[in-house]
Chains A and B, each alone.
Chain A
Amino acid sequence: MTRLENPSVSIQDLSLNFGAISVLETLNIDVAEGEFIVLLGPSGCGKSTLLNCIAGLLDVSDGRIFIKGKNVTWEEPKDRGIGMVFQSYALYPQMTVEKNLSFGLRVAGIPRDEIAKRIARAAEILQIEPLLQRKPSALSGGQRQRVAIGRALVRDVDVFLFDEPLSNLDAKLRAELRVEIKLLHSKLQNTMIYVTHDQIEAMTLADRIAVMKGGVIQQLDAPQTIYNRPVNRFVAGFLGSPAMNFLDGRLEKDDGNWHFVAEEVRIPLATYAFEKEPAPGAAVFGIRPEHVAFNSGSGWPFTTTANVVVVEPMGSDTLVWLKLANQNFTVRVTSERTPNNADTVSIGFDPMRASLFDAATGNRL
């Protein structure tokens, strides 16, 4: 794993066990100054746990945590220079918005006029000035989350931690606040670590995404790289909606060219960039539904015909379910070209856009 020169946050060999259960295993990650990093993964993958370790809300079993070059492994949360935003907002219900924002500052004994100044600035950035004298119960979900972000903002910290901040909001509000968080980041240029299970949030917000599973980071890379060149089958299947197509089959070499073979389907792999020279054997061929051309004639390295099983109209486009080599295969089609059930259609794609995985290990070939 490559280490950064002057990381804002640096996690070194972090492990966490609850009794015999290991939640995080010798985890390493460096976050650059001003970087927006997203921890993405399914429920129970340890992403929130990792965030709580960084915040100092959980004691680690092993390893070290550096923030701004300072070893904070044993520090209290307040001394780590972090601000945190929670999924349930966690606003103090008995305090007004203003008191909520100022609570941490009052605890720290910061002078009154300084507190007023910081609250005014945060309220302006987040546009919550008219709400300052309200109680949290009189706010909508989006307003509450804005106040929760404001609470982190007033503390003037180096690192922002977000723990699934948008999960409690409805879809429309989630999209709006997503953009606002992105704007906030470009305005503040703070380091932000953001936990989510929503791949859209991860793709749109992140400078880099860390895809996690079972307490281990599977892949840490820019969103486009993760999307286009997933390192293993888990990452490939977790990102993308509708999900990537997977065909089970075999890798074969004839006439010096590699082919992927599943029953009657033979896909030539001349354009595919192998990680290293492969060996013949069982493999999984993955390609995203939007990378498959539909009824567009020849000119593709691979074309074939298949029967339509189900058609799912989704408004902007349509998902067509086919049977290919007796396995499910989906193609994304613009709404105007929607076929009927049981039609026979032709499809084509370039294996360059595909991903090949080892059938046993699931690693990219």
Chain B
Amino acid sequence: MADLAVPLPAGTGSIGLEASGPRGPKPRHVFSRRNIFLYGTLIVVALYYLLPLYVMVVTSLKGMPEIRLGNIFSPPLEITFEPWVKAWSSACTGLNCDGLSRGFWNSVRITVPSVVLSIAIASVNGYALANWRFKGADTFFVILIVGAFIPYQVMIYPIVIILREIGLYGSLSGLVIVHSIFGMPILTLLFRNYFTSMPEELFRAARVDGAGFWGIYFRIMLPMSLPIFVVAIILQVTGIWNDFLFGVVYTRPDTYPMTVQLNNIVNSVQGVKEYNVNMAATILTGLVPLVVYFVSGKLFVRGIAAGAVKG
């Protein structure tokens, strides 16, 4: 490059300094040690996590005779979607033989109201705790947070009794209430921290403008907090969809959520283990949280960062 260097006009260059030395941005090599380490690690880790998924997809597309050959890593010789169809519509779980479809719709009926209810309550909680410093607010907050540290298992039996007494045991609405309550500590913390990070003067300006508790919440705070709502929705959808324990305890066989049904398919002890159906059923169950992550991954990261970092 030295021959391309333009001679400096007299008086602008420093006298005595070599004119052909390094200049401009420092060149970067693609195969530098740093890049090899960085991308090498990333590729290894990615493969490690993708391998089980690969086996699942491949197995679910094979027929049983092919699976018995034992080559779990080999791609299917003959692709069949029958295991998927069976998993969705005719696999037997206990007494019912209508596949995961029943569990899927049960899960939808559990997840949607739980997510809406818990986020609606928690966001108002967080807003009140952050902006309307009512008397005893700190105590209330501490109690709520302590709730997050108590193991769920401790509370299972008392809740069974409570639900029985109010006549909701075994119904979907009972499970919705349980999910909403258990989502409360972490969601309230999330919303409180987010609203606390918003400028206090904004809230004051709205008060001078005459907006009240709900006016400020709906017209000022809500439109500004889309990212944190996305975070909350993702947390709740995946958490509630993936829940097994509450689902199996608080519902009956005909109202089992998808996860419980999946367990009943995979862990059935009679007859032949239909690995391909099991794999297809597992993928089907995991699809909803997966789709949620893929669709909103960017918003999720932004929301987490906004809620956590800005103090």
Contact = CB atoms under 8 A, between A and B. Distances in A.
B199 A90 contact: yes
A78 interface: yes
Interface string A65-104: 0000000000011100011101110111110000000011
Contacts of B220: 92
A84 B204 contact: yes
Given A94-B223, A94-B224, A107-B215, A78 B207 contact: yes
Interface in B174-229: 199, 201-202, 204-211, 215, 219-220, 223-224
A87 B201 contact: yes
Contact of B205 (A52, A84, A94, A108): A84
A90 B200 CA distance: 9
Contact of B207 (A57, A83, A94, A151): A57
Q: Is the interface of B mostly helix, strand, loop or mixed?
A: helix
B223 A107 contact: no
A340 B204 CA distance: 54
Contacts of B207: 57, 76-78
Given A86-B201, A90-B199, A92-B202, A107 B208 contact: no
B252 to A, nearest CB: 46
Interface residues of B, number: 16
Interface residues on A, range: 20 to 34
Contacts of A91: 205
B201 A151 contact: no
B292 to A, nearest CB: 25
A78 B209 contact: yes
Nearest to B223: A94
B208 A84 contact: yes
B208 A77 contact: yes
Contacts of B199: 88, 90
A283 interface: no
A192 interface: no
Nearest to A99: B219
Interface in B147-168: none
A88 B224 contact: no
Contacts of B219: 103
A104 B210 contact: yes
Contacts of A86: 201, 204-205
B211 A57 contact: no
Contacts of A77: 207-208, 210
Interface in A236-287: none
Contacts of A107: 209-211, 215
Given A78-B208, A103-B209, A90 B224 contact: no
Contacts of A87: 201
B223 A90 contact: no
A211 B279 CA distance: 77
Nearest to B219: A103
B208 A83 contact: yes
Nearest to B207: A77
Interface in A310-324: none
B201 A88 contact: yes
A92 B204 CA distance: 11
Given A92-B220, A94-B224, A104 B201 contact: no
Contacts of A308: none
A76 B224 CA distance: 25
Contact of B208 (A92, A94, A104): A104
A104 B215 CA distance: 11
Contacts of B202: 90, 92
B261 to A, nearest CB: 43
A55 interface: yes
B224 A151 contact: no
A171 B243 CA distance: 58
A77 B220 CA distance: 17
Interface centre among A76, A103, A108 (most CB of B within 10 A): A103
B148 to A, nearest CB: 29
B208 A55 contact: yes
Contacts of B209: 78, 103-104, 107, 151, 155
Contacts of B211: 103-104, 107
A206 B116 CA distance: 54
B93 to A, nearest CB: 48
Contacts of B201: 86-88, 90
Nearest to B222: A94
B210 A93 contact: no
Interface in B23-66: none
A82 B224 contact: no
Interface of B: 199, 201-202, 204-211, 215, 219-220, 223-224
19 contacts: A52-B204, A57-B204, A57-B208, A77-B208, A78-B209, A82-B208, A83-B208, A86-B201, A86-B204, A86-B205, A88-B199, A88-B201, A90-B204, A90-B205, A92-B220, A103-B206, A103-B209, A104-B208, A107-B210
Interface of A: 52, 55, 57, 76-78, 82-84, 86-88, 90-94, 103-104, 107-108, 151, 155
| Minimum-distance CB pairs A-B, first 4 | A78-B210, A104-B209, A90-B201, A90-B205
Given A52-B204, A104-B208, 8 more contacts: A57-B204, A76-B210, A83-B208, A84-B205, A87-B201, A90-B201, A103-B219, A107-B211
